[in-house]
Structures are given as C-alpha cells and as structure tokens.
Amino acid sequence: MPRRSVLFSPGDRPELLRKAPGAGADVVVFDLEDAVSPDRKAEAREAVASVLSDPEFDPDAEVAVRVNPGDAGRDDIAAVCAAHPPDSLVVPKATSADDVTSVAGAAREVGADCPVIAIVESAAGVLAAPEVA
C-alpha cells in the first residue's frame, strides 16, 4: 500500500489510538515520543501494547509506532513489540545508520521483524541521509 497520508496519534490516549485508523490515513503512527509527556511514557507503552494486542483491533491502515531515541526507545520496543508487533517502527531524529540498525536490532531481540522508517529532523540528519537510507 502506498504511504500517501500519515496520521500521528498520542500513545497515551487509547481512545484516540482505537479511532485513528478510521480517519482514512494510509498510515497511523502511535506516537510514544514527542506527543507523550515524560511522566506518561510508561502509561503510553501500556496503552499502545494493549491496543495492538486486542483481537478486535483490526485496522485497514498500516500501524506504526514511533519510539523514543536511545535507551528509552529500547524500552518502548520491548513493551510494544513483544506481544503483537506493529506493522512498522518509526525512528525519530535519525542522524546515522546506527539509529536505524539499533531499532531494528532491538525489535529482533523481542522476536519482531518490523520494517523501520527513519525520520530525518535536523541538518545533521539531512547530511547523513544517504547513510540512513
């Protein structure tokens, strides 16, 4: 399926996570990064994992999860990918190929083999884009 439209939904709002696929976007991103305040990260991980593992949640859209950078991202991946992995993972603020391979490796460690989508958000990321791709 082509990725023509993307809708981001905050990971700590399970009611919005369940509604998001009905909005008609090609990709729905459950956001564990910028859309969630630091004190709600654990709740967001639980909410996303719960929605993804719900047998009644069967969206027509691709469902991706945007993880936090660094070690927090590894915690995100362990929490949301272990039971029922999303269709893909989104790496924010990518500045090197290591950012992408780290997320892919963390997913494989919990038995998930998800495609990884990198988002370039800085000049350093733009300069490293050939390596990131």
pLDDT in tens, 31-81: 999 999 999 999 999 999 999 999 999 999 999 999 999 889 999 999 999
- Domain layout of the chain by residue ranges: 6-132
The sheet carrying 27-31 orders its strands as: 6-10, 27-31, 62-66, 88-91, 116-118
**Global pTM?**
0.94
Q: What is the pLDDT of residue 133?
A: 86
Q: Is the pLDDT score of 1 beyond 90? A: no
Give, in words, the CATH class of 6-132: alpha beta
User: Cα dist. 82→9, 41, 76 in Å?
Assistant: 21, 17, 10
Residues 20, 28, 4: CA angle, nearest 5 degrees: 120
Q: What is the pLDDT of residue 17?
A: 97
d(CA 102, CA 83): 20
